[in-house]
Chains A and B, each alone.
Chain A
Amino acid sequence: NAGVTQTPKFQVLKTGQSMTLQCAQDMNHNSMYWYRQDPGMGLRLIYYSASEGTTDKGEVPNGYNVSRLNKREFSLRLESAAPSQTSVYFCASTPFGGSSTDTQYFGPGTRLTVL
C-alpha cells in the first residue's frame, strides 16, 4: 500500500517549456487535489477533482490544467512554465470528499524550478 505517489520528485524547466506532474493513489479514494506551496507560505489549492470525471478550479488555477484520468490518477499540466510557477507541488486524496471529517492524505511532493 503506497498511499499517494507523485512523479517526478524534482524537475527543472526553462521558461515556456511544458510538463505534466503525475499523481496516483491506491486507497480507492474518491477525491483528489493539487496544491502548491511557496516559501514561507501554506498550501494553496490549484485544482481538485471531487470524483472521477469531475474537475474544478481552486484558489490559484491560472497557468495549469488537470486531468482525472481514472479513479487512481490525477495529473497536473503546465502548458508554458513561468518562473512564478517555481514551487513545491503536493497531490492529496481523501476517501469521500463530501464530509467535513475526511482527512486528506498527501504525496511526498514535487519540487519544481522554472528558470
Chain B
Amino acid sequence: AQKITQTQPGMFVQEKEAVTLDCTYDTSDQSYGLFWYKQPSSGEMIFLIYQGSYDEQNATEGRYSLNFQKARKSANLVISASQLGDSAMYFCAMREGLNNQGGKLIFGQGTELSVKP
C-alpha cells in the first residue's frame, strides 16, 4: 500500500504568490516524522523542513511552512512569496518511528513546481 501520496504531478504559481503542495500519508505508528525535500534541475536533494508527529506547532523554516493536520494525515508544504529559484521537484517523505531501526524514509512521487515571472 502506498504510504505517501502526492496528488499533484505539476503545479504552476505566479512569482511572489504563495503555493501549497499536497502530501497525505498512511501509517499505524504513533511516532513518525515527515520531511520535504527539493530537487532542482541540477538533481541534488535538498532538505527543506521537518515535522514530528508529536509536534503541536506547525514547522516553519523561512519561506517554508508545513501545514500539519494529523487527523487527516496530511502534511502540506506551503511556500510563501514564490521565487523563480523555487522551480523544482518537491518530494514529501516519511520516517516511521517504532519499528524502523534503520531510519528508512518512504518517498512520494513528487510534485513539479514551476514559478512564472
By a beta-carbon cutoff of 8 Å, the part of chain A in contact with chain B is 31, 33, 35, 40-45, 48-50, 56, 58, 88, 90, 92, 94, 96-106, 108-109, 111
Complex Cα distance, B32 from A104, in Å, reads 14
B107 CB-CB contact with A under 8 Å: yes
A-B contact pairs, 21 of them (CB 8 A): A31-B103, A33-B105, A40-B110, A42-B91, A42-B108, A48-B104, A49-B102, A56-B102, A58-B104, A92-B105, A94-B103, A96-B103, A99-B103, A100-B32, A100-B33, A101-B50, A102-B103, A103-B47, A104-B103, A108-B44, A109-B43
Complex Cα distance, B93 from A42, in Å, reads 9
> Which chain B residues (73-115) contact chain A, with CB distance < 8 Å?
91, 93, 95-97, 100-110
B82 CB to nearest A CB, Å? 22
Q: Can you add 10 more A-B contacts, CB < 8 Å, to A42-B109, A97-B101? A: A33-B105, A42-B91, A43-B45, A49-B102, A99-B103, A100-B100, A101-B52, A104-B35, A104-B47, A106-B37
B33 CB to nearest A CB, Å? 4
User: Which 9 A-B pairs rank lowest in CB-CB distance, beginning with the nearest?
Assistant: A42-B107, A100-B97, A106-B45, A100-B33, A97-B103, A50-B102, A43-B107, A48-B102, A42-B109
Q: Is A50's CB under 8 angstroms from B101's CB?
A: yes
Complex Cα distance, B96 from A102, in Å, reads 11
